[in-house]
Structure 1
Amino acid sequence: MSTTTTIVTGGDKKIRRSTARVEPIYYLFLIPTLILFTLAITVPAVMGIFFSFTDSIGIGTWNFSGLTNYIAIFSDPAVLQSYLFTFGFSLATVIVVNIVAFMLAVGLTSRIRFKTGLRAIFVIPMVISGIIIAYVFNFLFSNSLPAFGAATGIEWLQTSILASPDFAWIAIVIVTAWQAIPGTLLIYIAGLLSVPGDVYEAADIDGATKFQQLTRITVPLVAGYVVINIILGFKGFLNAYDIIIGLTNGGPGTATRSVAMTIITGFNGGDYAYQMANATLFFIVAIIIALIQLSANRGRNAL
């Protein structure tokens, strides 16, 4: 990239203008990425939206059906249940993840021993595959905890929580949060480390307690990081799939079936066009959440 500076004289004033010219070599590096993105993302998305207006089963002939698939979605109890579960699960998980991650971040940025090693330990769940984590916790919830409950006489532990239509979602929230907390924790640590130490020293001089410093200094100064974690976490949890597959496979019945699982299951079951319409609606929801993120972060300097 080359830069050209021009000085324009107007009366007694001199105005300095700088223009940057991008070298063609940069566009050469950009072209392969654009081609891959177009072939792997844009073209399949456009084709999917097109087929959502048809009766296609994924192969063979098809006919246009207009808005039939979209109208049917809003009266399909299975789809509506999947949206209800997904949004409820996402909201609960976001709350749990952010509260626990923020508390850990405060502890791991305080003056404690071995905090560097503890940070490394807490990050481990983030690098483990979600499906592996799900199968491990499946064994714990289905075998270890019931066996412990039988040995200790604790009746409510003797039945696997994964077999309960009313409480299986709690297990999914616990496992998802266990994997998601490290990423959120790292963002909070970065935010807490960006707060100037002079602010806390001034607060100590004024007699502020640690709790007052936390609520009146720390929380307001890292508010941007809180917003980022909430929005990114909510968007990520909306796509929950692998952990649900490994824990409950959408059961009992369809009690824990997410939108992503409903769409993928429909693809395999011959409801290609119908679930493509569902995927399109879900894409619109994701776009709305992204716009909310941009609006919430406007004017903030975090990250």
Structure 2
Amino acid sequence: MALPTKVRVRTRRRVEPVFYAMLLPTVLLFTLAITLPAVMGITLSFTNSVGFGEFEFIGLTNYVAIFSDPEILQAYLFTLGFAVVAVVVVNAIAFLLAMALTAKIRAKVGLRAVFVLPMVISSLVIAYVFNYLFSNSLPAVASAVGFGPLQESVLANPDLAWLAVVAVTAWQSIPATLLIYIAGVLSIPSDVYEAAALDGASAGRQLFAITVPLTAGYILINVIISFKNFMNAYDVIVGLTDGGPGTATTSVAMSIFKGFTNGDYSYQMANATIFFLIAIVIALLQLRTTRGKATL
């Protein structure tokens, strides 16, 4: 006699119409504000459009021209190099500050508030203030003490201007990164450090054997977020150097925006399309590299 077998019936859960009603406005707005303009922009990148009026399809002409344009290539090199250096500087300083601000020191709550203040100030305001400092205050102080290298504005030096951009970007970006690291460090049970101390582990040993591994998820999040933000660098550079001297600190975002206002609409749409594809590739590589290696 054959034993009866259980038949698994898959039931489809009914979705309430109210959920569709709540989702529809969001989808509609996203389509109109993001998807549709993106599709239109990619389409116009294959034309000679100046942003209005009639245009003709010219195929891959804009894309071919971009790969032989030294200013565009310089913008990509600067943006990538700036993003890599800024990620390292911001995360290293923020992590060390997080360690200090979670240690047993006095007034650490007040110090946390002080370090977070740059988050609430506009990027353009910060850039203009530092522009004045680099162009006037710092050269005046350097002249008074006889320090030759800084008697002229670093913003006017093609070899040093990018360092000023990194410094100002770090000053503004460290607070948000710091908050995430503080949360990561505070999530580590104190018992772990006490056990390590009883075993004779030094402070340096505890840092690299306990703190860094147990905050790896927070480190990965900060690296990914900060790299994405720095690749889109625009406002700080505009207020600080406006892409100068020459094109030494012109980012990809700046070159795209300036092209829109100078009549190179379709050309810069091709540039924006390439930049968009590069951003997708970088995001996929980051996800592939970090997937399953660390969790919060």
Q: TM-score, with normalisation over the residues of structure 1?
A: 0.92
Q: How does 1:10-29 map to 2 (within 5 A)?
A: 21-29=14-22
Offset, 1:224: 1.7
Give a deviation string over 1:65-88, Cα, whole Å, max 9, x none: 111111111110000000000001
Matched, 1:86 2:76: no
Moved more, 74-83 or 291-300: 291-300
Q: Which residue of structure 1 aligns with residue 67 of structure 2?
A: 74
Q: How does 1:6-85 map to 2 (within 5 A)?
A: 21-85=14-78
Query: Greater relative contact order: 1 or 2 (C-alpha under 8 angstroms, separation 6 or more)?
Result: 2
Code of the aligned partner of 2:250: R
Q: Which residue of structure 2 aligns with residue 118 of structure 1?
A: 111
Change (3 A) 1:106 1:12: farther
Q: Which 5+ residue runs of structure 1 have no aligned equivalent? A: 1-9
Matched, 1:143 2:150: no
Q: How does 1:196-275 map to 2 (within 5 A)?
A: 196-275=189-268
Cα contact 2:123–2:235 (8 A) shared by 1: yes
Give a deviation string over 1:206-265, Cα, whole Å, max 9, x none: 110111000111111111211221121111101111111111111111111000000000
CA distance in 2, matches of 1:201, 1:18: 52
Give a deviation string over 1:238-293, Cα, whole Å, max 9, x none: 11111111111111111110000000000000000000000000001111122123
Offset, 1:296: 2.9
Offset, 1:297: 3.1
Q: Which residue of structure 1 aligns with residue 156 of structure 2?
A: 163
Q: Which residue of structure 2 aligns with residue 102 of structure 1?
A: 95
The SS at the match of 1:165 is: coil
The SS at the match of 1:58 is: coil
The percent identity for this pair of structures is 64
Matched, 1:176 2:154: no
Cα contact 1:227–1:296 (8 A) shared by 2: no
CA distance in 1, matches of 2:188, 2:42: 46
Q: Which 5+ residue runs of structure 2 have no aligned equivalent? A: none
Change (3 A) 1:152 1:22: same
Change (3 A) 1:120 1:12: farther
Give a deviation string over 1:166-198, Cα, whole Å, max 9, x none: 110000000001010011111111111121222
The SS at the match of 1:126 is: helix
CA distance in 1, matches of 2:195, 2:13: 45
Deviation beyond 2 Å, 4+ runs, structure 1: 10-13, 17-24, 300-303
Instruction: Please state which structure has a larger fraction of its residues in strand.
Output: 1
Q: CA RMSD for the aligned pairs?
A: 2.0
Code of the aligned partner of 1:281: I
Code of the aligned partner of 1:278: N
Q: How many residues were matched structurally?
A: 294
Offset, 1:301: 5.3
Give a deviation string over 1:78-111, Cα, whole Å, max 9, x none: 0000000000111110110010000001111111
Cα contact 1:191–1:302 (8 A) shared by 2: no
Cα contact 1:101–1:182 (8 A) shared by 2: yes
CA distance in 2, matches of 1:188, 1:296: 21
Code of the aligned partner of 2:271: N
Cα contact 1:87–1:238 (8 A) shared by 2: yes
